[in-house]
Amino acid sequence: MGSCFSKPKTQQIDSDKNESQEMMTQCQSWIKSGDNNQHHHPIADRYGTPKMSGQMGTPTLFHLNHSNSIDHNPSLIHEVAVGGNSKMSMDMGSRSGNNMHNGTPIQDHGKDKLVALYPYDSRAEGDLSFKKGDVMYLLDNSNSDWWYVRHSKGGTGYVPRNFVARQQTLESEEWFAGKIPRNRAEKLVLSNNLPKGTFLIRERETDIKEYALTIRDSDDGRVGSVKHYKIKKLDGDKGYFITTKRTFQTLTDLVSYYSELSDGLCCQLTFPAPRIAPIRPDLSHDTQQNWEIPRNQLQLKRKLGDGNFGEVWYGKWRGIVEVAIKTMKPGTMSPEAFLQEAQIMKQCDHPNLVKLYAVCTKEEPFYIITEYMVNGSLLAYLRDQTNQISLQASVDMCAQIANGMMYLEERKLVHRDLAARNVLVGEKISGVPVVKVADFGLARKLMDEDIYEARTGAKFPVKWSCILAATCGNFTTKSDVWSYGILLYEIFTRGQVPYPGMHNREVIEQVELGYRMPCPRTCPEQIYHEVMLKCWDKNPDRRPTFDHLYHFFDDYFVSTQPNYVPPSQN
């Protein structure tokens, strides 16, 4: 059984066409014979063909046209590139042939040849459209989010940095997942309808650069059917090995070898786990800096809900990019204060925080434009009994929320209104929805004393607030931790209102006297005692950090499985 995903770097590809034909021929030979209904179709037939999901609130994902795709929603995986033999988009950016950029001569360098990891549709002048597998040449990488490139088939323009990679680098390999947590790697290889031997290589979350190989060891995706192998480095960084009897100069060579035979692993490597495409860093390169946009570029399509400060709409930017548009009631705040708060959101960039794209402040009502989350608020998602939520999914959502809050904690940002209603839900990966912390309308940068004192007369969510915040309006990261404990109660009760049967004044009085809500029926005792009660400690200094909370939930199921398995010596 051969691999068509990895070739040693010394092997040269004569042309996109030849590579495409070769890879498709090999792809059809991967699947073992014996079941005409499941194993003799080409990859595109079995796994579907890609199309943009366009959902701006989960990562921008790709649909598999397959009735049994991930959790009955095919928008989470995309087909493997077949050599970059793709059709050109109609919009190729500038074709003027001008060899100047920002007044500086530009030159092509062979070492700066890029390959597109995902397709991208330009919707602004100066950006460049491309298809997955297209080849480009890097001209200017001074902007960390947008690179200026020349397409191999003509045209220059900006492309999002996270959609491309330098050719013949680890980042460009289909099977390389980057620095992701162990549980995220497991979800990727356990996606529905992927075969035994589906794999990825990830960078481990350690201070030193280490790698791990994650393999799906069954066709049914049952619990415990994923194996992890540490990939160790030879002295002097001269190569890699899983077992000392076989060493490899590169990770690509390692993948090629174990695609031919298992040689001590649980099984051969068969299929790279599908990557999840990132969201665009901005609506366009231009809006990265000029994020005040004309409101006539927005179309408000469907009202999603009302809030204390305005309405939330589903809409589109320039008729194509799906966004969420929050409208602020006139007189809510001054343009200066509004922009100051929006600036905080704009600077936040994390996979578990809702991305702010742009604002409209030239006239009221003011608009905040963010990524669109297809499944709405976590509170509504929890209360919808048609949504099956396993313990694994609940724990994973707890980890994702803590991960986003850890990012704010590291930057001394206090949210002040952390609750299920302010967490948004995207698509699912192996039964677990992507969730992101939203509604930074109340977020504030903490001063040196790490306390934010709210203005007089401000309204606070009493049942989600610690006593000091509810009675004095003093907010810290530790008050966010208290709110996180209440959010866990919401998750494990499927969205019940905290402190059932108690009004706000009674809640304050009882909590001051030491009352704490009992353990929800579906909540594991360990989570209640080691997390929830500690989040509600009267002494803020004894409450856990979000860093601790994230790692608690991220590692929650690790104790029931071996972290890494040694290769067989047979």
Give the catalytic positions in this structure: 417
Structure tokens at 182: 């162990």
Of 349, 344, 354, which is closest to residue 414 (Cα–Cα)?
Answer: 344
Which residue reads 């000392």 in tokens? 244
d(CA 208, CA 219): 34
Maximum Cα interatomic distance, the chain, rounded to a whole number of Å: 76
d(CA 203, CA 208): 10
- Assign residue 34 a region: left if phi > 0, alpha if psi is -120 to 50, beta otherwise? left
Of 466, 116, 139, which is closest to residue 278 (Cα–Cα)?
Answer: 116
d(CA 557, CA 391): 10
Structure tokens at 511: 């909590």
Of 520, 445, 552, which is closest to residue 183 (Cα–Cα)?
Answer: 552
Structure tokens at 35: 């079941």
Helix (H, G, I), strand (E, B) or coil at 58: strand
Tell me the residue type at 502: M
Compute φ and ψ for 490, nearest 5 degrees.
-60, -45
Helix (H, G, I), strand (E, B) or coil at 397: helix
Kindly report each contact of residues 329-338 with a partner whose C-beta sits within 8 Å and lies 24 or more positions away, as own/partner: 329/365, 330/364, 330/365, 331/364, 332/366, 335/361, 335/366, 338/366
Helices (H), 87-149: none
Half-sphere exposure of 350 (CA within 13 A, CB side): 22
d(CA 465, CA 481): 9
Query: Please, what is the end-to-end C-alpha distance for the chain in angstroms?
Result: 20
Residue 209 in marked binding region: no
Question: 10 Å Cβ neighbour count for 29?
Answer: 11
DSSP bridge partners of 242: none
Residues 6+ apart with CB under 8 A from 208: none
- Letter string b/e over residues 535-548, b meaning 16 or more CB atoms within 10 A of that residue's CB: bbbeeeeebbbbee
Instruction: Show binding-site residues.
Output: 326
Instruction: Show binding-site residues for ATP.
Output: 326
